[in-house]
Structure 1
């Protein structure tokens, strides 16, 4: 009788986590809305007007040259990180003006205008659109990172699925370990009940 009662109590305690895990697992399996939420937004590239001859520095680990609506760019990786250079002078290219940033980001939006819409506000390296998408611009790498409301929703489902409920890493790990221990106990109690009944 005690085994059955303990099995019932643990089963009830795990009902909500199991339900949350099953629902979020279904969402991860079907993947509705993933395409836009995790879409990679990149600057729109154009063909170079002419070949650019670049003599690489010995400190460069890698480099790439390309053209955007703002002209030619040279992105270099060194031991200390990424640097955005002018391909002609090989001098570090300063941050773009707000007008240039608008041109660069708006040009990239042409890949998916329904998602990105129009630029609403600019604050430093962050651009927010009228569709609620926020774009972070990494000028040293000339790359974008976009995040919308759908991204936040899917990230929340991820945290629910992987038992990251409190936001405190240590506490979440403890709760996860307790949950796993309860699942093992539930399984053993269920097996005992099944074997007893056989």
Structure 2
């Protein structure tokens, strides 16, 4: 097989990945809809309205005291793990009831009703039975299809809409993450790089040979 045939074969094999790279690369350059898709969603906080006396423990690496629509919260970091405590008793904060969960989340999404709409019906199994574990994550959905994930241990929110999923999908396509298997995706990426290098190398040989023929 001569170099010209090799070059054409490699070009044919790389045709689809190159098209995907060009389109996705242009998408990343323009970044349409990025602002809304990846906009941070914060728990709404209020000024502290009560005097609390806290004695920091030696094992605490970090602490935050804040007030939400549900009241005061104490967040501490201990041995690299975050814990959500009752600010008055320092006991693990009880799991929120459905009413409390709805109140907290609706207060947060009220900042952008066009994107989030309102919360859909909450199921009983959405709320974990207790919050003694370092991580207690609750996921609910809104009427606009946005998925809200509440990390109660850190009192943090994350939002994931259809636009976010689409952009993440474009990212996966760009980096040849075309299968649900991480190992196979790495193989595809490596093969793509090898083929691209081979295409460039064979093209360089053809260009060099063409230049030499012109000189003769």
TM-score interval, smaller chain: over 0.9
The equivalences for 1:122-137 within 5 A come to: 122-123=122-123, 124=126, 125-137=138-150
The equivalences for 1:119-158 within 5 A come to: 119-123=119-123, 124=126, 125-158=138-171
What is the rounded CA distance, in whole Å, between the counterparts of 1:3 and 1:171 in structure 2? 29
Partner of 1:9: 9
Partner of 2:71: 71
**2:186 counterpart of 1:178:** no
Q: TM-score, normalised by structure 2?
A: 0.87
Q: State the 4+ residue runs in structure 1 displaced beyond 4 angstroms.
A: none
- Shift in Å, 1:52: 2.6
Partner of 2:214: none
- Alignment: residue pair count: 198
* CA-atom RMSD in angstroms: 1.3
Partner of 1:60: 60
- Shift in Å, 1:50: 3.3
5+ residue gaps, structure 1, are none
Task: Describe the superposition over 1:144-178 as per-residue Cα deviations: whole angstroms up to 9, x where unpaired.
Answer: 11111111111111110111111212211112111
- Shift in Å, 1:15: 0.9
Partner of 2:134: none
5+ residue gaps, structure 2, are 127-137, 212-216
What is the rounded CA distance, in whole Å, between the counterparts of 1:122 and 1:41 in structure 2? 20
Partner of 2:96: 96
- SS of 1:84's equivalent? strand
- SS of 1:135's equivalent? strand
What is the rounded CA distance, in whole Å, between the counterparts of 2:79 and 2:54 in structure 1? 19
What is the rounded CA distance, in whole Å, between the counterparts of 1:143 and 1:173 in structure 2? 32
Task: Describe the superposition over 1:72-106 as per-residue Cα deviations: whole angstroms up to 9, x where unpaired.
Answer: 11011111621111111111110111011111000
What is the rounded CA distance, in whole Å, between the counterparts of 2:188 and 2:93 in structure 1? 49
What is the rounded CA distance, in whole Å, between the counterparts of 2:197 and 2:79 in structure 1? 48
Q: TM-score, normalised by structure 1?
A: 0.95
- Shift in Å, 1:70: 0.6
- Shift in Å, 1:53: 2.5
